[in-house]
Structure formats: C-alpha cells, structure tokens
Amino acid sequence: MNQVIVSALLGLGSATLFAGLAVALVVQYRATGMINLSAGAIATFAAYIFYWLKVEHAWGTAPAFAAGLLGCVLLGVLFELAVVRRLRGAPPLAKLVASLGLLLLLQALFLLAFGTTAKTAPALLDTGLTSAVRVFGTPIPTDRLYVTGILVVVTGIVALGYRYSRMGLSTTAVAENEGGAILFGIPAQRISLYSTVLATVLAGGLGMLIASQSQLDPTTMSLAIVPALAAALLGGFTSFIVSAAAGLAIGIVQAALVFLQTKPWFPTVQSTPLPGVAQLFTFVVVVGALWLRGAKLPVRGTTRERRLPPAPEPRRIATSTVALTGACVVLVLLVPAAFRQGLMNSLAGIVICLSLVVIIGYVGQISLMNLALAGVAAFAVQKLTVTAGLGFPLAPILAVAVAILFGLVAAVPSLRLRGVTLAIATLAAAVAFQEFVFKNSTFGQEGGGSFLPAPSLFGLRLGPEADFPGWDGKLPSPVPVLACVLAAAVIAVVVATLRRSTFGQHLMAVRANEGAAAAVGVNVRNAKLIAFAISAGMAGVAGVMTAYSFGGVAASEFDVWIGLSLIAFAYIGGVTTISGAIIAGLAFPGGLGGVALQSWTGLSADWLSLAGGAALLATVVVRPEGLALAHAEQLRSLGSRIGRFRQRAPAGRGGDKAGVLEE
C-alpha cells in the first residue's frame, strides 16, 4: 500500500498538467462555449518559447517566462479575434473543429521551427535534481510538490475571481443567457476576449512549469488534453475546483496503475504489462461520469446558435453514380501509378467520411471514434486472415461485422448523450482503442506492424501485383484501385438511398429534435442504434480497404489525431453531404489531392500540414457549412443569374428546408 501511495505521489507531475489544462478548458468553455482541443498545444507553444529564449538565446529565467506569457497573450488575442468571436453562434462541432485547426497549425509550426527531436526543457523552478521529500523511505522530488502547490493556489484564485469579481460574475451571466447579459450592458465580446486570453495564459504558464519534468515535443503535452477533458467533464465544465481535483485524481490514479502493473497478479499480455491501462481508465472515468450524471454540459444561452448545416436529399443518384464511377475508372486507367495509389487512399478516405455523414450529418451524433472503428476492422481482417486462416471475402466481411459490433457497443452511451459530451466520450474511447486494443500485441499490432497478404478470389489476385490487361507493371495494378472504386460507389449509393428513405427522414427528425421526433412516433433509440451500426459498418469497410491497401496494419495508422484530422477534413468538405465526403477524401493527406500537390509543388508533409491547419481555420470561419454546400449555393446563384435554370427545385432545396425547419 505504501508503494501505491508513493507511486501516486510520483505521478503529481502528470496530474498537475491534467488539472491545469482542465481549468483552462473550463475558463474557455464558460465564456465562449468552445471546447478547446488545442489547450495542450498552447502549453507546448509557451514551453517552446521559454526553451528557445532560455536555452538557445541565453535569456534569464524571468524574462524568458515573461516572454512566454506574452506570447500566450498574443496568441489568445489572435485566436479570439480571428476565430472564436466569429464562431460565437456556430454549432459545437464547428467550434471543436476550429480548435482542432489551431492544434494542427501549432503542431506543424513546432515541427518546422524546432525539428523533430524532442527538446529537454529548462526548469522554471530550479530545485535541483536531488531535492526530495522522503515518503515511506522513497524520495519524492520537491519540484512536483511545488508545481502542484502553484496549481492549487492559481485554481483557488481563478475560482474566487469568477465567484466574486465583476468579470467572473459577468462571465457567468453570459454563459447562462448571453442575450439577457447583453441587454444588461455586459460586454459579451470583451468577456470572451478576456477569458480566451486567460485560458491561453493558464495553459501556457503551466506548460512552462511542467515542460522540464516532461519532454518538449509537438505531441506529448498536446495528448494530455484527453484526461484534461475527462477532468473538466467531471467538473461539468463549470467548476474550477472540481475539475482541478478530478485532474489531479486522474493523474494520481494513472501513476498508481503504472506501479500496480508490475505486480504479478495484474493482467498481462504475453507476459508483459498490459498496455494502455491508463487511457482505458480515463475512458471509464468519462463514460462512468456521464452515465451516472446522465447530464449534458450546461447549455449556454447564446444569442443565436446554429445547428449543423443542412443535409440536402441527394438527387439523380443513378446518374451521379455512373458519372463519378466512370470518371474514376478513366482516372485509374490513364493516370500515372502514384496517382492510382493516391486515388485508392482517397477512396478509403471517402468511405470513412461517408460514415461520418451518416452519424454526424444525418443523426447529429458527434462521434469522434470512427477511425478507431476502422482500425478495429483493419486489425480484425489481419487476425482473421493470418491467424485464423480465413480468406477473401469471408475475412473482410467478418471484420466489418466486428466493427459493427463495436459500433453498437459504443452507441450505448449515445442513448443518453448528445453533442459535445458525446464527442468527449467518443474521443476518450478512440484513445482507449488506440492504446489498449491496437497496441496490444495479442489483439493489435505485432512487432513493427502486422503483415496482411494481398487478397485473392478463386485464384484471381486482387492485390497491387494483380494482372490486368495492358498494365505497365508499375505498382499498384489497376485491379485493387477498381475494386476500391466499386466499394466506394456502393457505399455512396447506400448513403444516398438512406437519406432519401423514410428511415432517413426519421434520422433527420432525430437530428433536429429528439423529443419532437419521439412525439411523432419515431423510435429514437432504435434510429440511433441503427445509424451507429451503419456508420460503424462503413468505417469498417474503410478499415479493410486501408489494411489491404497498405499490405498490413499498424496502430499509428489509426491514431486519434489522424481521426480528428479526418473529421476536420470532413467538416471542411461538408459533413452533411456525400459531395462533402468526396471533397474531404480527395483532399486528405496521402489522397489524390495530396499526391498531386506534393508532386507538383515538392512541398514536405510538414508544410502541407501547416497549410492544412490554416485552411481548416479559414474554412470553419468563412464557410462553416462546408465547401460542398457553399459550392452548391454558388452554382445555384450562377444558374439563376444567367437564366439557364428554371425555378424547379435545386439540388439543395430539400435540405434547405430541413435546415430551416431545424432553425
């Protein structure tokens, strides 16, 4: 028991990071309604400034720290004016995606400015390496205790400030009823600005304090956002003290779990400590808290809050399918080999984005775990093929079934959750899948990656070396690309048909208002479960396509940040439309657009990531409805101007109605 306590105390460094980020998240959410996924990256941003000035330019500790804080203030002001203010009335998903845009932008900047090698950050509190307090005979470094103490004091000040100061009370008023607060003369925009800057400074200050106990690289502190979200959730995104205490508790329990893993009775995998237990614990905390509370986040009384963009009914399904499939076939036969692989990557991206169209666009369930479900199918097809010896197509069919099963399990929380709470729960689930399942050498990755042989059917090879008339022998053969075209076309038709069906109308009704949908006889529970199953099945198809395309599976292919990027691209394209999914799939890095851009410009992937993050922020702010709908609107406007089209129902009309009804 003593050792458990000691281990828990040794985890105070991580615990303080989780707690501090949770407080920053609450500050931001209370004033702006934004769940800022980039809080960890902002902490990294400040830590890099401190490192750069202190180590590379020999500044003193105090001026370097002040410069780090100043950098955070500037970043906060810029983020507020350019993004947060413009998204005040935007749907929660748009705000989430915007914060993701900042995260991607900052990470790309870190890579370009400081390279890939993790830096050793200088200590802000130089207590000496051996300064320690002995607890049960084990030295506990004093710097952890100091940092935790500072966090406790700062959290107390913030809590008291929000409880008694004019700004704090104004923030509470804005959070509860923004319209009313404005009528009473409370400057909502200024409150938003102050809060964004405060959240940024809190995260940044913490980053500079913690970095020396950690590693200064683009991802380490960014990843701490997931337990921080769990802590903020436990605090209802309202209470600073509960959030901070929850963050500390999560960090301490995670550290104790690391110690308990060394015990002989603790479950192991292949005689080694079970991986991902800490992340699984975070997921259990999130789901448990949400399930027990059964509550959603406090609804903010914004002046006007838009819902998701309209989801127009697809028209001319057969014509569009034939035309797009034909175009793909022509592309496959004519373009150079690299573009064939790019198209194949894009087709897998399109299919997974279509799964997002179903679950987010049609039912309004912000699920962030679809790439994880794709990973489940990918690992399943690999295990079924290599370990169980099943062939094609039985193995992929069963793999998709496994993904559906997991999707249904994941759907259970959605019966009680909506909006951003569901987003947080599914984000924690995605991280748990990544760490606990995919990195488990029994269920997931073996060695450097799990090999998957190319598929064949009745002796006919379907992999990258498959024979094809007139093939020039350059990889990949057109055969697997054509198979992917076929799969994507079938999935697209399924989605289009689903939207036009009676069940599709039910889904739209659920998206608009669950209570109203139930009142008119829609079985909301079943509708959600079926939608989750369909979406998971599609994600599974994408996972299988990916596994065959790469000739194997690795956990890093289904990383949570890639999943978030995918959702961001889906949002840019238009998360409510099939055309939006196609745009997203084509634009996704490694897809056709990325291959073309890379081959024409020669830009490195880091520069493309930087451009992607900036484009994401710009699109969310300027075209929150997504490129597909914006493009459709422009086409309609052009058509009416030149008089070529009569006043018949344009492509988006049905959807517009749905959108208007929702408003």
Ranges within 416-445 binding other proteins (CB under 8 A): 435, 438-441, 444-445
Q: Give the amino acid at 69.
A: L
Q: Which two tokens stand for residue 424?
A: 């947080």
**How many residues touch other proteins (CB under 8 A)?**
108
Strands 456-457 and 460-461, by their bridges, are antiparallel
Q: Which residues in the 618-647 window bind other proteins by CB under 8 A?
A: none
**61 touches other proteins by CB under 8 A:** no
What is the rounded CA–CA span in Å between residue 30 and residue 471? Answer: 60
Q: Which of 478, 480, 590, 626 binds other proteins (CB under 8 A)?
A: 590
Cβ at position 659, least distance to other proteins in Å: 34
**390 touches other proteins by CB under 8 A:** no
Q: Which two tokens stand for residue 465?
A: 């070396």
Question: Which of the stretches 239-247, 253-261, 365-373, 529-537 binds other proteins when contact is defined by CB under 8 A?
Answer: 253-261
C-alpha angle with apex 562: 346 to 495, nearest 5 degrees? Answer: 50
Nearer of residues 510 and 572 to other proteins, judged by Cβ? 572
**124 touches other proteins by CB under 8 A:** no
What is the rounded CA–CA span in Å between residue 371 and residue 351? Answer: 11
Cβ count within 10 A of residue 556: 12
**DSSP summary character for residue 359:** I
**5 touches other proteins by CB under 8 A:** no
**595 touches other proteins by CB under 8 A:** yes
Q: Which residues in the 318-337 window bind other proteins by CB under 8 A?
A: 337
Q: How many CA atoms lie within 13 A of 468 on its CB side?
A: 20
Q: Which of 197, 553, 564, 627 binds other proteins (CB under 8 A)?
A: 553
Cβ at position 429, least distance to other proteins in Å: 18
Q: Which of 172, 238, 239, 261 binds other proteins (CB under 8 A)?
A: 261
**44 touches other proteins by CB under 8 A:** no
- H helices, E strands: number in the chain: 28, 8
Dihedral sign, Cα of residue 601, residue 603, residue 605, residue 607: negative
Question: Which of the stretches 208-216, 307-315, 396-404, 479-487 binds other proteins when contact is defined by CB under 8 A?
Answer: 208-216
Cβ atoms of 3 and 255 closer than 8 Å: no
Q: Which of 80, 178, 217, 662 binds other proteins (CB under 8 A)?
A: 217
Question: Which of the stretches 179-187, 207-215, 612-620, 636-644 binds other proteins when contact is defined by CB under 8 A?
Answer: 207-215
Q: Which of 59, 146, 259, 468 binds other proteins (CB under 8 A)?
A: 259
Cβ atoms of 121 and 50 closer than 8 Å: yes
**269 touches other proteins by CB under 8 A:** yes
What is the rounded CA–CA span in Å between residue 293 and residue 424? Answer: 15
Question: Which of the stretches 86-94, 266-274, 320-328, 402-410 binds other proteins when contact is defined by CB under 8 A?
Answer: 266-274
Q: Give the amino acid at 553.
A: V
Cβ count within 10 A of residue 395: 23
Q: Which residues in the 458-477 window bind other proteins by CB under 8 A?
A: 461, 463-465, 467, 473-476
Q: Which residues in the 477-536 window bind other proteins by CB under 8 A?
A: none
Q: Which two tokens stand for residue 345?
A: 């990557």
| Site map (CB under 8 A) of other proteins, residues 342-381, x = contact | x--x------------------------------------
Q: Which of 39, 368, 554, 658 binds other proteins (CB under 8 A)?
A: 554
Q: Which of 70, 386, 401, 489 binds other proteins (CB under 8 A)?
A: 386
**165 touches other proteins by CB under 8 A:** no
H/E segment holding residue 269: strand 268-269
What is the rounded CA–CA span in Å between residue 440 and residue 452? Answer: 17
Residue 468 dihedral angles phi and psi, to the nearest 5°: -150, 135
**449 touches other proteins by CB under 8 A:** yes
Q: Which of 552, 580, 650, 652 binds other proteins (CB under 8 A)?
A: 552
Q: Which two tokens stand for residue 313?
A: 């009914």
What is the rounded CA–CA span in Å between residue 389 and residue 367? Answer: 33
Residue 139, SS3? strand
Residue 42, SS3? helix
**615 touches other proteins by CB under 8 A:** no
Cβ atoms of 410 and 367 closer than 8 Å: yes
Nearer of residues 226 and 354 to other proteins, judged by Cβ? 226
Q: Give the amino acid at 399.
A: A
Q: Which of 80, 313, 514, 557 binds other proteins (CB under 8 A)?
A: 557
